[in-house]
Each structure stands twice: as C-alpha cells, then as structure tokens.
Amino acid sequence: MNGYVTNEPLRIPILEMDPNGYQRQCDRLATLRRERDGEKTEQTLNALRRACEDDANTMPYLLDAARADATLGEMMDVMRQAFGVYQEPLFI
C-alpha cells in the first residue's frame, strides 16, 4: 500500500541534559551581576518601575534595562510588583 513503509525500527534520539549545565549557568549569572554597572542597572529598573506605574509603554524601558545587563528575572520582578500576577478566575 505505502511505498515508504520500512521494517526498520524507529530510533528516536533521547535528549540528554548536561549535568553541569545548571551550575555553569548560575556561575555565568553571578559573573554578569558582579561585572555589570550595578548603578546603571538599578537606574534602568527604577525607570521601568515608574513606566509601569504611569501606564506608559514599557518596551523602551525593557530594552534599556536589557542593555544595562538587567536579567529577565529582575525585569519581571519589577513588572510583577507593579501589575501583580494574573490568575485566571475559576468558574465552577
């Protein structure tokens, strides 16, 4: 029926995680935080906080924070503090 069917067993490669990957990423993050200009990073995060509170377009402030080596987690913490965390209502 189908000319593409074979009797060969299907081999699916299993993704293997690097056991040292987590620690390597933690080390990279610690190095980033140690070597960046902490004052500049804090200024951009504060500007992002004010933009969130003023209901302004946050994208330029997010880009400035990223350029100042703020981490995604730090930027999201600012936004969570300003906006809270959305919880979908349960309808029962």
Range of the domain at 45: 38-83
Per residue of the chain (92 residues), give pLDDT as tens.
667 777 788 888 999 999 999 999 999 999 999 999 999 999 999 999 999 999 999 999 999 999 999 999 999 999 999 999 999 998 87
> HSE-up of 75 (CA within 13 Å, CB side)?
19
CA distance 33 to 12: 39
Q: What is the pTM of this model?
A: 0.75
In the chain, the number of structural domains is 1
| Inside any domain, residue 17 | no
pLDDT of amino acid 8? 82
Rg (CA), the chain: 22
Cβ pair 78, 45 in contact under 8 A: yes
| Inside any domain, residue 53 | yes
| Inside any domain, residue 3 | no
Cβ pair 64, 40 in contact under 8 A: no
